[in-house]
Amino acid sequence: MIFNPEMETMARGEMQKLQLQRLQEVVRRCYENVPFHRQNFDRAGVRPEDVRSLEDLQRLPFMKKSDLRENYPFKLFAVDMKEVVRIHGSSGTKGKPTVVGYTKKDIENWAEVVARAICCAGGRPGDIFHNAYGYGLFTGGLGLHYGIEYLGATAVPVSGGNTPRQITLIQDFQPRGIAGTPSYILNIVEEMERMGLNPRETSLEYGIFGAEPWSEEMRAQLEDKMGIKAVDIYGLSEVIGPGVSIECHEAQDGLHIAVDHFLAEIIDPATGEALPYGQEGELVFTSLTKEAFPVIRYRTGDIASLNPETCKCGRTTIRMSRIKGRVDDMLIIRGVNVFPTEIESVLLSFKQLAPHYQVVIDRDGALDRFEVHCELTNEFMRGIDDLDNSESVVNLLKEIGHMMKNALGVSVQLKLNKPNTLPRSEGKAVRIVDYRNKAGAVK
Ligand code: DLL
């Protein structure tokens, strides 16, 4: 089911006309109402009337996360505070949180794009929907929640954590759909297995997973263990929250962007130059309809590429690839660029390993030392008393090391741990632990 066929299947030329009209309006509103934007435009020597075509977008200056911090909390809002009905933000692990605001209309648009997203994933009105995203300042919980209601489905607002209760509610309420971070959903699956339940035997048919990078191999494991279709949902609070883009259950091949609300570009992160379709680079978004907190050319820090081809599901919307990782999370191991998702792809192709891992970085004299910590499965551990002196462990280490070297182009130090030793997440998983600057620091 396509929730909003008019927007989701509009001919490309028509959509571009609508985008241009909305772009011109948002640029004018930003220039007139937000001193930051006016100064940013003036510095770049452009004025709102210079935007005459979609290509002119490239003349406009970028916005970065630091602009949000410098204008904390409300200085980037483009409407009077009386019109702001909700605030969300990021957790702010690196200093002040970043804060975003919504008008009534923004909340309605957001609910609509999330309703579209749920349909894209295979959901429909009347579904019972288990929402395991955290409720609070984080956009995941409330973002999904309003979309579920807008669709005419039933929201179960369980939030993250208290895993045994989640399992009871799944058994008792019989939901068709579930949402959460892939790492937390795996946690639920593991707990079910520990309780002697078969996660394939629930009522669940589809899962909407995102808010953190994850790999095709992780999808295969989740689909197999749960007997569901798993799709990738993307979004960020600065742009709106979840629902900026999502895969369709028919193709599971790229995430459909809600292009009537969000204009995407890919740029070279080093030079800021726009890159053509198909080429990988940093995703940049311009919000076309947001009232309280519009963004113009916001640099997300996320690495992806764009694909303009019409999808087999019938949607004409531009699709983005799965996020490879964040620019900040790219590891440079002896000169080779490596994203944690690439490490994940290799680890999850070994059935002897559980789908949990962390990359630990430390200083070794003048050099950085990278260690990939992973966990063995209970099945593999049966019959092994001493991890350090087991021939099958030594052989497995060799095999993984070999495959890592082939896939990444560099060898990494591997550390195999006993089952259930690495930390489990209730929200976004911590994949990189960086001890180089501070003891115990987490990236
Ligand atoms: O994570 C919004 C969200 C909630 C998306 C629920 C999907 C589902 P923030 O907390 O602002 O917002 O974090 C945004 O998370 O810039 C990406 O780096 C990362 N991210 C979000 N979705 C994905 C995804 C929410 N599907 C940041 N794949 C973004 C990879 C993702 N990374």
Cβ(211) – ligand 1 distance below 6 Å = yes
Joined together, the tokens standing for residue 226 give 């749960």
Candidate of 234, 295, 305 to mutate for ligand 1, largest count of ligand atoms within 8 Å of Cβ: 234
Among protein residues, the one with the nearest Cα to ligand 1's atom 9 is 236
Q: Which of 353, 322, 354 is nearest to 209 (CA)?
A: 322
pLDDT, residue 438, reads 67
Of ligand 1's listed atoms, the one at least distance from the Cα of 232 is 26
3-state helix/strand/coil string of 404-419:
HHHHHCCCCEEEEECC
Cβ(90) – ligand 1 distance below 6 Å = yes
Q: What predicted TM-score, i.e. pTM, was given to this entire model?
A: 0.97
pLDDT, residue 345, reads 96
Domain 1-328 is in which class?
A: alpha beta
Structural domain boundaries in the chain: 1-328, 330-442
Cβ(138) – ligand 1 distance below 6 Å = yes
Among protein residues, the one with the nearest Cα to ligand 1's atom 20 is 211
pLDDT, residue 142, reads 98
What's the 272 CA to ligand 1 centre distance in angstroms? 22
What's the 331 CA to ligand 1 centre distance in angstroms? 19
- 258 vs 22: CA distance, rounded Å: 14
Of ligand 1's listed atoms, the one at least distance from the Cα of 237 is 11
pLDDT tens string for the chain (443 positions)?
Answer: 999 999 999 999 999 999 999 999 999 999 999 999 999 999 999 999 999 999 999 999 999 999 999 999 999 999 999 999 999 998 666 667 899 999 999 999 999 999 999 999 999 999 999 999 999 999 999 999 999 999 999 999 999 999 999 999 999 999 999 999 999 999 999 999 999 999 999 999 999 999 999 999 999 999 999 999 999 999 999 999 999 999 999 999 999 999 999 999 999 999 999 999 999 999 999 999 999 999 999 999 999 999 999 999 999 999 999 999 999 999 999 889 999 999 999 999 999 999 999 999 998 888 888 999 999 999 999 988 888 889 999 999 999 999 999 999 998 999 999 999 999 989 999 999 999 876 555 66
Cβ(241) – ligand 1 distance below 6 Å = yes
Of ligand 1's listed atoms, the one at least distance from the Cα of 233 is 26
pLDDT, residue 115, reads 99
What's the 229 CA to ligand 1 centre distance in angstroms? 20
Sign of CA dihedral 249, 251, 252, 256: negative
Name the CATH superfamily housing domain 330-442: ANL, C-terminal domain (3.30.300.30)
Cβ(414) – ligand 1 distance below 6 Å = no
Residues 94 and 267: beta-carbon distance below 8 Å: no
Cβ(323) – ligand 1 distance below 6 Å = yes
What's the 236 CA to ligand 1 centre distance in angstroms? 5
Maximum C-alpha span of the chain: 73
Q: Which residues of 96-132 are buried (b: 16+ CB within 10 A; e: fewer)?
A: ebbbbbbbeebbebbbbbbbbbbbbbbbeeebbbbbb
- 299 vs 281: CA distance, rounded Å: 11
What's the 98 CA to ligand 1 centre distance in angstroms? 14
Residues 289 and 26: beta-carbon distance below 8 Å: yes
Cβ(242) – ligand 1 distance below 6 Å = yes
What's the 233 CA to ligand 1 centre distance in angstroms? 8
Using DSSP, how many helices (H) and how many strands (E) does the chain show? 12, 21
- Helix residue spans in 76-212 (DSSP H): 104-120, 139-151, 163-173, 182-194
Cβ(133) – ligand 1 distance below 6 Å = yes
Among protein residues, the one with the nearest Cα to ligand 1's atom 13 is 236
pLDDT, residue 388, reads 86
pLDDT, residue 147, reads 98
Count the neighbouring beta carbons within 10 Å of the beta carbon of residue 95: 9
Q: Strand 413-417 to strand 298-304: parallel, antiparallel, or no bridges (unpaired)?
A: unpaired
